[in-house]
Amino acid sequence: MVRCVAKLTDDLVAEILSRLPTRSFFRFQCISKSWLALSSDPCYQNKFPRAASGLFFNVPDGGSAPIHRARRGIQYISLSNNDDDLAIDTTLNFLPNICNMEVLSSCNGLLLCRSWVAQSWGLTPCGVKAQSIYVCNPATSEWVIVPKANDTYNYHYLALGFDPRLSRHYHVLCFDFYKILRFMIFSSETNEWVVSEVFDGKNYHEPQATFFHGIFHFTNGLNQVLGVDPEGKICRRIELPESDGIECLGLSGGYLHYMLQSKDEIKVWMLKDYSHVEWVLKSCINIRAMLQNHGIFETQNVHGISETQNIHILEFHPDVDVVFLRIKQKIFSYHLNSGRLEEVGDLSYIYGPGCAVYSPRLSKGFGDEVA
């Protein structure tokens, strides 16, 4: 039996491993050093499953303190119907948590997280005494600390970029949109922060950013998506089809997607032709009709806000035509092709407007870490 297994080619072993559930995949890595090495080989990484398994949210971390003063923690909502998630530490307990913890961004199996101690007058990242930024892989419990920039990033928006098909190195995009419209980019390859030139954008516009084709893409509040390479140079300008509303930029099915929420509807576009900037409208969702079709009748809360105004767009599913929505305290997946709305979880309170969609990366090693 051992001799038969030894005769298997790497291609065949990779094909077998790619068909295993997550928990079994981890077990088989421990059987053979050659299989462990194969699972970390960039030539075969795309074969191993990375389907979205869940959503990370930033929530109050227990205690009796009021919401605005409660410690921050994370909560994970699984999208999987099996026990694969049990093999992954989605609590992130392997990270050093100095007080408050939140997930900032997710990209191809890695998470960008922040842990901080707040000033005594409030518990928000804007009033911190100390903070650390981590990049981690929950599937392998590997983590690194992102070095601090010379300039402070207490008030900034942070996003993660990582594509193992191009490189094992990761990048962190940091915005300063309160004082001056500029950004910084950290690369694990150089272990340095690069400060960009000032760019044209809308003051106090919190950007939506995603990593695609090896560069960051982010909205600038002026009906555009800007593309920035790891050296901090603006290399793409993509006009948006519309921009009057709440924005969400992301990836799904290998294409750049854009979602816009207005008072009465949600529109979803796909960038069908990246080179010639051809946006295709994939769906136009009437919010009131969607709620009524699924037995969610319009009511008003104590502040006079109707259900149609209590909907928040969250994120795109990276693999299929699904978007995630928050309706009051419930999280839903909306299937663009069928119009089906499914509840996936329930949260009493969420910090921030969105969530992080997580797809496990089962291979070890990233940045300068050696598998």
pLDDT at 324: 96
Q: Flag whether 29 is in a domain.
A: yes
Q: What is the mean pLDDT of residues 76-100?
A: 79
Q: Find the range with the poorest average confidence among 49-63, 165-179, 293-307.
A: 293-307
Instruction: Answer yes or no: do 239 and 96 share one domain.
Output: yes
pLDDT at 251 over 70: yes
Q: Mean pLDDT, to the nearest integer, of 152-178?
A: 81
Contacts of 14 (CB under 8 A, 6+ apart): 38, 44, 47, 48
The pLDDT of residue 107: 95
Could you identify the residue written with the tokens 């205690």? 63
Q: Give residue 233's pLDDT.
A: 86
Selection from 92, 97, 96 nearest residue 110 by Cα: 92
Please report whether residue 223 resides in a domain: yes
Instruction: Note whether 183 and 141 are same-domain residues.
Output: yes
Q: What is the pLDDT of residue 2?
A: 46
Residue 125 is assigned to a structural domain of this protein: yes
Task: Based on the fold, state whether residues 183 and 279 are members of the same structural domain.
Answer: yes
Q: Look at residue 186 and tell me whether its pLDDT is greater than 90.
A: yes
Strand intervals (E) in 79-169: 100-107, 110-118, 128-137, 142-145, 157-162
Q: Are 249 and 325 within one domain?
A: yes
- Specify whether 10 is located in the same domain as 68: no
What is the reported pLDDT for 64?
Answer: 47
CA-to-CA separations, 276 to 102, 236, 239, in angstroms, rounded: 38, 12, 11
Summarize pLDDT for 319-336 with one digit per residue, the tens. 889 999 999 889 999 999
Find where tokens 């929420």 sit: 261
Backbone φ and ψ of 46, nearest 5°: -70, -15
Q: Could you give the residue ranges of the DSSP H alpha helices within 104-214?
A: none
Query: Does the pLDDT value for residue 164 go beyond 70?
Result: yes
How do residues 187-228 score in pLDDT, each as one tens digit? 999 999 988 766 666 655 677 899 999 999 998 888 889 899
Choice between 229 and 153, residue whose per-residue pLDDT is larger: 229
User: Is the separation of the CB atoms in 280 and 270 below 8 Å?
Assistant: yes
- Find, among 198, 202, 240, 208, the residue nearest to 221 by Cα: 202
Tokens standing for 226? 């800007």
pTM confidence score: 0.82
303 has a pLDDT exceeding 60: no
Q: Is the pLDDT of residue 179 over 60?
A: no
Q: What is the pLDDT of residue 198?
A: 63
Spatial CB neighbours of 79, under 8 Å, sequence gap ≥ 6: 52, 53, 54, 55, 333, 344
Instruction: Please tell me the predicted confidence (pLDDT) of residue 369.
Output: 53
pLDDT for res 370: 47
**111-120: average pLDDT:** 81
Residue 22 confidence class, pLDDT cut points 50, 70, 90: low
Name the residue with higher pLDDT: 178 or 60: 60
Q: What is residue 71's predicted lDDT score, i.e. its pLDDT?
A: 74
Report how many domains make up the chain.
2
Query: Considering the domain boundaries, does residue 126 fall inside one?
Result: yes
Is pLDDT of 10 > 80? no
Cα separation, 334 vs 285, in Å, equals 10
pLDDT at 355 over 80: yes
Same domain, 39 and 94: no
> Out of 60-74, 96-110, 350-364, which region has the weakest mean confidence (pLDDT)?
60-74
User: Do residues 14 and 99 both lie within one domain?
Assistant: no
Q: Does an H or E element contain 25, and which?
A: helix 22-29
Mean pLDDT of 327-351: 89
Give yes or no: residues 67 and 207 share one domain.
Answer: yes
Q: 303: domain range?
A: 50-358
Q: Among residues 49, 66, 84, which one ends one of the domains?
A: 49
In this structure, are 17 and 94 located in the same domain?
no
Rounded to the nearest integer, the mean pLDDT of the chain is: 80
Q: What is the pLDDT of residues 24-71, one digit of tens each?
A: 655 555 556 565 555 555 565 555 555 668 999 998 876 544 555 567
Element (H, E) at 91: none
Residues 265 and 341 in one domain: yes
Q: Where is mean pLDDT largest: 64-78, 230-244, 252-266, 308-322?
A: 252-266
Read off the tokens for 271: 């960038």
Q: Are residues 23 and 56 in the same domain?
A: no
Q: Are 174 and 153 in contact (CB under 8 A)?
A: yes
DSSP codes, 259-327: EEE-SSEEEEEEEEETTTTEEEEEEEEEHHHHHHHTT----B-TT--BGGGSEEEEEE-SSSSEEEEEE
Within a domain: residue 370?
no
Which residue, chain included where needed, has tokens 């598998």?
A: 371
pLDDT tens for 257-275 read: 999 999 899 999 999 999 9
Q: Is residue 366 part of a domain?
A: no
The enclosing domain of 152 has a CATH number of: 2.120.10.30
Q: Is 219 inside a domain boundary?
A: yes
- Do 235 and 144 reside in the same domain of the chain? yes
